Amino acid sequence: MANDEVVLKQYLSKYKHRDYTAREVISLIQVYRSLVYRLEAFVFNNGTRKDLLNLEGTIPVNYKGAFYNIPVSIWLMDTHPQNAPLCFVKPTPEMTIKTSKWVDSNGKIYLPYLHEWSPSGSTLQRLVQWMITAFGELPPVYAKPRNQPRPPYPFDPFMPQPSGYPYPQVSPQPGYPTATPYPTTSNPLPYPSFGTPYPGQVSTNGTPYPAATPYPPTTNFGPVTEVAGGTITEEHIKASLLSAVTDKLRRKLNEQSQQSQAELETLRRTQQELCEGKSRLEDIFTRLQREKASLEKNLSTLQEKEKELESAVERLAEQDGIEADEAVVTTAPLYSQLLNAFAEEATLEDAIYYMGEALRKEVIDLDTFLKQVRTLARRQFTLRALMHKCRQKAQLAC
């Protein structure tokens, strides 16, 4: 285990999460001892290559009460666990890939667990358990007939062609993989079973895999008629084409459905935003109407006041000049006495103020200032007493 950890850290020197990835790999190979790791070059669909860690070996699958060893290959991205691994079924020369909703014709594995891969919650052990469960329902390979190689399918424009998922090459070059969508549903028709079970596989790095248990035979699509030389009958070709077309149509329909749902959700959000905007605009419009009514009312009031001022100005313009002393006329002799006393008291207040300024500027001496201020103050006191008496007589506020 210690040796594995040292070797893994050397292999994972360019990985972003080296220690975490090494711990996950060690934990996985302790449970599934048939899996071995090696650093190999992976060629992506766009032609770029990159050195990635490859976990290759067999996993035990329970199918109808019997265990079978399914050969798989798990490639860990250099950003693991941020990105999901790339998983393939690697059949031996004695096996043939059986396409299903989990595996395509090139052996690439599609699982909901890979599609919903979470950096914080997904692990390699759970991924292998998902593979075991999925392959227990639909085995990804079946055994070829011995000494009878299976000829290729005839070309058909409606049959999906292999996308060429590559296997390890030699020299690495920089580059990153492009995302490959995972199909969600598929229900291909079963392929016929030929020959006998395949033998166990031997690892290329010297660690033998466990002996493979025979693969279960698949249900025949129809009556099988073998032709001399091991050629495929018309029923097999028809079943293959029907399966491929059905799978392609289901993928297309699923993509269109998901796209339509996304567009519908976008339209719903847009409708909600428009409704909210409509409500805000209606509130603003109502407030503006109220303000407009208030402004119109104030405008009419100002126009009336303006007319009154214009008429007053015209009346004043027609009159003769007014003397300042005649500008204010009282209605009774008592009010006239009060007005005269108030005016005189205000003049005395100003006189006392200017007497103080004259003393400050040394225009008059102190004796003169005191003499004049005493006289003015005595007169001011008399006037104030008179105003107080007049206010009491006229019943005004004192």
The CATH code of the domain that includes 106 is: 3.10.110.10
End-of-domain residue from the set 112, 143, 174? 143
CA distance 26 to 395: 110
The distance of Cα 103 from the centroid of its chain, to the nearest Å, equals 32
* Residue 302 falls inside a structural domain: no
Apex 349 CA angle, 343 and 351, nearest 5: 105
CA distance 133 to 150: 29
pLDDT of 322: 67
* Structural domain count, the chain: 2
| pLDDT, tens digit, 9 for 90 and up, residues 110-158 | 998 998 898 888 999 999 999 999 998 888 988 877 655 544 443 333 3
* Residue 17 falls inside a structural domain: yes
pLDDT of 292: 95
CA distance 366 to 371: 9
Answer for the pair 150, 96: CB distance below 8 angstroms, yes or no.
Answer: yes
Q: How many CA atoms lie within 13 A of 97 on its CB side?
A: 19
Answer for the pair 211, 199: CB distance below 8 angstroms, yes or no.
Answer: yes
* Residue 291 falls inside a structural domain: no
CA distance 22 to 4: 9
Q: How many CA atoms lie within 13 A of 232 on its CB side?
A: 20
CA distance 25 to 34: 13
Class of residue 26 by CB neighbours under 10 A (exposed 0-12, middle 13-18, buried 19+)? middle
* Residue 33 falls inside a structural domain: yes
End-of-domain residue from the set 108, 143, 178? 143
- Mark the ranges of the chain whose per-residue pLDDT is less than 50: 150-230
Which amino acid, 233?
Answer: T
Q: What is the pTM of this model?
A: 0.39
Answer for the pair 85, 37: CB distance below 8 angstroms, yes or no.
Answer: no
pLDDT of 299: 95
- Give the position of tokens 């009878």: 148
End-of-domain residue from the set 143, 172, 205? 143
* Residue 295 falls inside a structural domain: no
Sort strands 49-63 and 66-76 into parallel, antiparallel or unpaired: antiparallel
CA distance 38 to 48: 19
* Residue 224 falls inside a structural domain: no
How is 80-98 classified by DSSP, letter by letter?
A: TTSSPPEEEE---TTEEE-
* Residue 129 falls inside a structural domain: yes
* Residue 301 falls inside a structural domain: no
Q: Which domain holds residue 346?
A: 333-394
Rg (CA), the chain: 52
Quick one: DSSP state of residue 79?
Answer: T
